[in-house]
């Protein structure tokens, strides 16, 4: 628990873990005034987690809700304060940098076009030199349509690089409700879009590594979405996978393979749709230049083979053959895009919906997917309304990739869980550790509780490691297969 825990601090409202460090938001802490908020950093040493420092905004004030969102990676910690900035709720984000055994506030971020009630800082995430910040109340596409901002580190300064908007955004979307970033990919959730709050999520990619443009690649929606799903309530992206959570009770898996991203040749913009029947399609490619060209499909796209009848000169056809699609109600899309210029970047994308994932013991109303996080081959999913220890006591599930498929590995339940704990309201996973918040746990006078689990070195073994008192929703899985080989 927090060393100075008090009732209703909501310690654990937000959590993030990376390596040997974890950060926990206490959004209602009162150190800088009522509901001004704070965050705590814990450090792991010899499998024990110890509070290292309490973070406060240098200019914090009542109602700021500092700690609404948190992120941590390597030497940087990020804390969102979405109702900050002189009472206007335009919002702000604070960056802290590790300096030996302490953390120093380095910079306060604001949107360059900040306005009241933008709620900049609703969500935050960090990956290396990039930060993404959600502003769910921004009005560029109509009132509360939402936006997100990308910041890039330049030595010791952080520069606003791009503002992200949904291509089909409208009022009340709350785009930016959730965000995540991994290297050149970012994902932004919007839980309200479409009739009946079905929701959606958006994938963005940094266009060229040395340029600041971030381009919307794909709008993700649930193939069988229904009213009030709130698809996009939570999102996470890491390496080959992205998760999109809804406030429902199932999980959809999508696979996205990038087969080439080298500036080798020019192509015409084309979209080819593959049905569930076996067959072959052809794609025109222009100005191939001299030399031979090899195509290789990702090894996990078992039904897809690519053959080239061209050995290097001028325009030609690329034949793409595929076996029968194992998922008869699904389809794949191959996309090739490029400006009409020689030697400009182009992409071949395969998007294939895969399977529906469910909690093995899931029930209606469990809110499986209320929080999600993913790292490498492991993922954690919160189910805040699970009644396993009483009404809405909550739980969390660990999934792992086994033979190319997501398999439920373990269900995490606190031994002292009770009704209305909302265990699973916030989750994070890194290496051998998973952290789960239960911000309404009241075993210590509503000071709240947090559990940290350690993955033992045995198959499917997740055991509870430490517990600290503190108060901290269907999941879609998208896979990205990084390149490949298409050399001249």
* % of the chain at pLDDT higher than 90: 38
The arithmetic mean of pLDDT across residues 289-309, rounded, is: 36
The C-alpha angle with vertex 252 and arms to 246 and 258, in degrees rounded to 5, equals 115
Report whether pLDDT(352) > 80.
no
Tokens representing 123 are: 């969500």
**pLDDT digit string, tens, across residues 70-112:** 999 999 999 999 998 766 899 999 999 999 889 999 999 999 9
Residue 359 has φ and ψ, to the nearest 5°, of -65, 140
Report whether pLDDT(483) > 80.
no
Residue 196 has φ and ψ, to the nearest 5°, of 75, 25
pLDDT at residue 443, as a whole number = 53
How many helices and strands, by DSSP H and E, does the chain display? 0, 35
Neighbours of 417 (CB within 10 A): 20
Percent helix, percent strand, percent coil in the chain, to nearest 5: 0, 50, 45
Q: How far apart are CA 442 and CA 307, in angstroms?
A: 62
Q: Is the pTM of this model over 0.85?
A: no
Report CA-CA distances (Å) from 328 to 14, 278, 320, 406: 40, 11, 19, 19
Least confident of 167-171, 190-194, 353-357, 462-466: 462-466
Residue ranges of domains in the chain, CATH in brackets: 11-248+365-479 (2.130.10.10), 266-349 (no CATH)
pLDDT at residue 363, as a whole number = 85
The arithmetic mean of pLDDT across residues 354-361, rounded, is: 72
Report whether pLDDT(290) > 50.
no
The arithmetic mean of pLDDT across residues 326-330, rounded, is: 36
pLDDT at residue 48, as a whole number = 83
pLDDT at residue 208, as a whole number = 63
Secondary structure letter of residue 71 according to DSSP: E
pLDDT at residue 162, as a whole number = 95
User: Looking at the DSSP assignment, which residues form a beta bridge with residue 222?
Assistant: none
């Amino acid at each position: 628990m927090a060393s100075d825990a008090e009732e209703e601090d909501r310690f654990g409202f937000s959590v993030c873990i990376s390596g040997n460090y974890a950060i926990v938001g206490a959004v209602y802490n009162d150190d800088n005034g009522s509901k001004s908020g704070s965050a705590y950093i814990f450090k792991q040493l010899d499998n024990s987690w110890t509070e290292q420092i309490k973070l406060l905004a240098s200019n914090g004030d009542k109602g700021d809700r500092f700690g609404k969102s948190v992120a941590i990676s390597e030497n940087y910690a990020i804390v969102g304060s979405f109702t900050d900035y002189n009472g206007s709720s335009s919002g702000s984000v604070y960056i802290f940098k590790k300096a030996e055994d302490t953390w120093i506030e380095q910079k306060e971020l604001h949107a360059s076009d900040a306005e009241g009630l933008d709620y900049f800082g609703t969500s935050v995430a960090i990956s290396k030199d990039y930060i993404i910040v959600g502003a769910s109340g921004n009005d560029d596409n109509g009132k509360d349509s939402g936006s997100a901002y990308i910041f890039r580190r330049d030595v010791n300064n952080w520069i606003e690089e791009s503002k992200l908007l949904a291509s089909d955004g409208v009022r009340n979307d709350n785009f930016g409700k959730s965000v995540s970033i991994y290297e050149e990919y970012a994902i932004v959730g919007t839980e309200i879009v479409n009739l009946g709050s079905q929701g959606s999520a958006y994938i963005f990619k940094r266009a060229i590594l040395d340029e600041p443009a971030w381009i919307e690649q794909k709008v993700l929606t649930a193939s069988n979405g229904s009213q009030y799903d709130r698809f996009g309530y939570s999102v996470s992206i890491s390496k080959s996978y992205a998760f999109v959570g809804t406030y429902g009770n199932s999980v959809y898996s999508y696979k996205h393979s990038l087969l080439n991203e080298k500036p080798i040749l020019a192509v015409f913009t084309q979209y080819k749709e593959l049905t569930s029947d076996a067959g072959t399609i052809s794609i025109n490619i222009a100005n191939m230049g001299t030399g031979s060209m090899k195509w290789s499909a990702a090894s996990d796209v078992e039904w897809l083979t690519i053959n080239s009848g061209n050995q290097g000169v001028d325009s030609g056809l690329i034949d793409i053959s595929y076996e029968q699609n194992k998922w008869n109600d699904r389809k794949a899309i191959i996309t090739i895009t490029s400006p009409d210029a020689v030697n400009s970047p182009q992409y071949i994308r395969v998007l294939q919906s895969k399977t529906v994932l469910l909690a093995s013991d899931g029930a209606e109303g469990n809110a499986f997917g209320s929080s999600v996080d993913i790292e490498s081959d492991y993922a954690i999913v919160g189910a805040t309304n699970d009644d396993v220890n009483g009404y809405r006591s909550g739980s969390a599930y660990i999934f792992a990739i086994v033979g190319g498929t997501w398999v439920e590995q373990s269900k995490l339940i606190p031994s002292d869980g009770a009704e209305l704990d909302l265990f699973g309201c916030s989750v994070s996973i890194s290496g051998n550790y998973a952290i789960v918040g239960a911000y309404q746990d009241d075993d210590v006078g509503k000071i709240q509780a947090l559990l940290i689990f350690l993955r033992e070195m045995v198959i499917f073994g997740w055991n509870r490691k430490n517990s600290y008192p503190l108060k901290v929703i269907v999941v879609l899985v998208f896979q990205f297969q990084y390149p490949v080989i298409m050399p001249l």
